[in-house]
Amino acid sequence: MFEILANAFVYGLETYAGLGFLFAIVFVSFGVDRLVSEARGAGPGFRLLILPGVAALWPMFFYRWFGKANEPPVERNPHRQTVRP
């Protein structure tokens, strides 16, 4: 019983990682320019640098890319609220 659960867990992680890697390649090639304006014109070094993070967090990037979000939301914290007039 434990072996079946362990195998299912490992296969689930492999599936998640595989989908994440495939999504990350497509996203880093085409989608990052749409979501982050500062990434426009970034070279291949930057794209290779963000590839592992995109692969790990691919559901969030998938939702942001195919959802209605364009730019990241502006962070709201006490420091920004104090500095802005």
Other C-beta atoms closer than 10 Å to the C-beta of 33 total 14
Question: Which amino acid is present at 10?
Answer: V
For residue range 11-42, what is the model confidence (pLDDT) as tens digits? 999 999 999 999 999 999 888 888 777 778 88
Question: Residue for token digits 């989608």?
Answer: 31
Is the pTM higher than 0.85? The answer reads no
The Cα 79–Cα 76 span in angstroms is 8
CB–CB of 20/58 below 8 Å? yes
